Amino acid sequence: MEKVVVAYSGGLDTSYCVKYLIHERNMEVHSILVNTGGFSEEELVHTEKRAYELGSTSHCNSTILEEFYTKAIKYLIYGNVLKNNTYPLSVSAERIFQAIEVIKYAKKVGAKYIAHGSTGAGNDQIRFDVIFQTLAPEIEIITPIRDLQLSRQEEVAFLEKHGVSYSWEKAQYSINKGIWGTSVGGKETLTSNGTLPEEAYPSQLQKDKEETIVLNFDKGELVGINGEKDTPVLNIQKLEELASAFAIGRDVHVGDTIIGIKGRVGFEAAAPLVIIKAHHLLEKHVLTKWQQYWKEQLANWYGMLLHEGNYLDPVMRNIEVFLEDSQKSVTGDVIVKLKPYRFELVGIESEFDMMKSDFGQYGEMNNSWTSDDAKGFIKIYGNANKIYHNVNPGEL
């Protein structure tokens, strides 16, 4: 029997893949669940049990939070990356690292095949396949759901035929949870004007009194909350617990999919949005105008390439070097007020704050130039416009 590794989540599609590969392809199945923050310990145990019940020869639960942070989230924070100025790449960034982990497992067990449960209509099929083809071109990819174009009912019927009687009740909303946010899909997101109802979001409003917190950054990384230091991963999880109680971080993202169609998805990402906005505010105080400008250009490209599965392009490593170098002075505290459904950035405190310079105060007093200096600067500054309108009189 030839070995195949299934990227397994415990859901209907990947459960079908396990049974299909055993009974229709006569293959030895090894399953792996790659956890990027969306599964509790109890859920991991339950998923492993189900994998063995379905017939997996071996199953692996691989939690990669630290690696995911170090190789992706850190740079998304450095770059203040929000796809279309909205979406913090909650799910799209995860897929790359899940695919890499699946490849590692396939090579470990000596599998000649890899299988996943993506359909032919979304982005994930591309993210998975591009990584698989690049890192393991010798391993063949099998995608039963995409290739057979199966309906949900056909999958359930096949599983029942082979003695699998789990409840496959389709949830009203599709939820994909991870450390960097949770996507929420439903009938409303299939339209251009529908809005997700309150109950669609996993985190419900629990607090109605505002709360002030202080985020502690060191060279761009979140190293503490309210002065209590911890690892960035644990700080993200702590902040998520704090901010999600206020139902912060909800929105709907509209974007262009890799395959060229428009897509719409709801999400909640309390910690990512608070961190990115707080980090961005700190940068406004401590970075120069041109540092901020070029960071924004490169970070926008970085986010797009990561979203579209191009993580392995060497230009990504080049951009990461720039982003990391830009964080040398991004150290300080950001004061944030958490309120029901929103948050407010109050201000920052940093030894690198350029508002504290002795050169002058905006709109108030200049200390390092005279009025004649200002008038001379303005005269020269306007030369290009004066020349153009002198040569092209009458144009507005």
What confidence score (pLDDT) does residue 275 get? 98
Cβ atoms of 50 and 165 within 8 Å: the answer is no
Looking at per-residue confidence, does 141 or 121 come out higher?
Answer: 141
Interval 67-84: pLDDT, tens: 999 999 999 999 999 999
Q: Is the pLDDT of residue 356 over 90?
A: no
Q: Is the pLDDT of residue 295 over 70?
A: yes
Dist CA 182 CA 247 (whole Å):
13
Q: Is the pLDDT of residue 223 over 90?
A: yes
Q: Is the pLDDT of residue 248 over 80?
A: yes
What confidence tier does 370 reach under pLDDT thresholds 50, 70, 90? confident
What confidence tier does 19 reach under pLDDT thresholds 50, 70, 90? very high
List beta partners, residue 225: 215, 228
Q: Residue 242: how many CB atoms within 10 A of its CB?
A: 20
Give the distance, in angstroms, between the CA of residue 222 and the centroid of all CA atoms in the same chain: 16
Dist CA 279 CA 311 (whole Å):
23
Architecture in CATH of 174-287+326-349: Alpha-Beta Complex (3.90)
Interval 168-194: pLDDT, tens: 777 688 888 999 999 999 999 999 999
HSE value, Cβ hemisphere, 13 Å, CA-based, for 143: 15
Cβ atoms of 186 and 266 within 8 Å: the answer is yes
Cβ atoms of 115 and 148 within 8 Å: the answer is no
- Tokens, residue 116: 């996943």
Ramachandran quadrant class, 269 (left: phi over 0; alpha: psi -120 to 50; beta: rest): beta
Interval 190-203: pLDDT, tens: 999 999 999 999 99
Residue indicated by tokens 């599609």: 13
What confidence tier does 350 reach under pLDDT thresholds 50, 70, 90? very high
Dist CA 32 CA 160 (whole Å):
23
Instruction: Give the residue from 203, 211, 213, 207 showing the smallest Cα distance to 268.
Output: 203
Looking at per-residue confidence, does 120 or 208 come out higher?
Answer: 208
Task: Out of 75-79, 222-226, 251-255, 274-278, pick the least confident.
Answer: 251-255
Looking at per-residue confidence, does 357 or 125 come out higher?
Answer: 125
Dist CA 185 CA 367 (whole Å):
56
Mean pLDDT of 242-265: 94
Mean pLDDT of 280-284: 98
Q: Where are the domains of the chain?
A: 3-161, 174-287+326-349, 361-391
Q: Is the pLDDT of residue 235 over 90?
A: yes
Interval 40-77: pLDDT, tens: 999 999 999 999 999 999 999 999 999 999 999 999 99
Q: What percent of the chain has pLDDT over 70?
A: 98
Q: For the chain, what is the HEC assignment? A: CCEEEEECCCCHHHHHHHHHHHHCCCCEEEEEEEECCCCCHHHHHHHHHHHHHHCCCEEEEEECHHHHHHHHHHHHHHCCCCECCCECCCCHHHHHHHHHHHHHHHHHHCCCEEECCCCCCCCHHHHHHHHHHHHCCCCEEECHHHHHCCCHHHHHHHHHHCCCCCCCCCCCCEEEEECCEEEEECHHHHCCCCCCCHHHCCCCCCCCCCEEEEEEEECCEEEEECCEECCHHHHHHHHHHHHHCCCCCEEEEEEECCCCCEEEEEEECHHHHHHHHHHHHHHHHHCCHHHHHHHHHHHHHHHHHHHCCCCCCHHHHHHHHHHHHCCCCCCEEEEEEEECCEEEEEEEECCCCHHHCCCECCCCCECCCCHHHHHHHHHHHCHHHHHHHHHCCCCC
What confidence score (pLDDT) does residue 146 get? 93
What confidence score (pLDDT) does residue 365 get? 67
Mean pLDDT of 352-369: 76
Q: Is the pLDDT of residue 103 over 80?
A: yes
> In sequence order, which residues have a C-beta less than 8 Å from that of residue 28 and are 6 or more positions away?
1, 2, 3, 4, 57
Average pLDDT, the chain: 94
Q: Is the pLDDT of residue 263 over 80?
A: yes
Instruction: Give the residue from 147, 128, 152 showing the smallest Cα distance to 32.
Output: 128
Q: Is the pLDDT of residue 329 over 80?
A: yes
What confidence tier does 364 reach under pLDDT thresholds 50, 70, 90? low
Instruction: Give the residue from 80, 83, 73 showing the smallest Cα distance to 37.
Output: 73
Mean pLDDT of 285-311: 97
List beta partners, residue 360: 366
What confidence score (pLDDT) does residue 369 get? 83
What confidence score (pLDDT) does residue 357 get? 73
What confidence tier does 212 reach under pLDDT thresholds 50, 70, 90? very high
CATH homologous superfamily, domain 3-161: HUPs (3.40.50.620)
Cβ atoms of 135 and 168 within 8 Å: the answer is no
